[in-house]
A and B are shown apart, each in its own frame.
Chain A
């Protein structure tokens, strides 16, 4: 069975500082990995994905994520956070042999001015 863990319920950073949101996964094969963001009272928006290839994936709004197979992690990063990055972030994983998609519990990011 596949699963995702986001070990931090909340992350607080100052504007301009680096932002990291952690994600670890468990899947039987090579994973499909995704990050989504949810702004207040909105649906989810896609940020980036890893299917294969380079371990460093670049996505929307200046975000990037690094796939680490040995640590089964896919942490989301942004070099310089903005107040507008404050939102709820979800990591998701799919086993390529399955159609199910599993989400983590989410991490609330607050960026203070």
Chain B
């Protein structure tokens, strides 16, 4: 149980376009979802915390207008990278939390902006 599906697993887009990444909890309702970013050979850095029905809370230095997060239901959160640039190329990974405070990770999305 407690499966988190993240889609797509990889995406290549052109500079200036927008990309949407979905994070779904398949068999449980997630009270909170988190979005992380990971550069090669580095650790996971928290970008934002997403609670269903409310605005996301962004970490310092993360542009909320560039990384749009929508958490419309207890099973779905989306991250949209708007007007993507090559420096946005990275590995993005979501996690969903249940009331037991256990984090369940998606498989991540590798974004390449050309």
Pairing of A with B: no
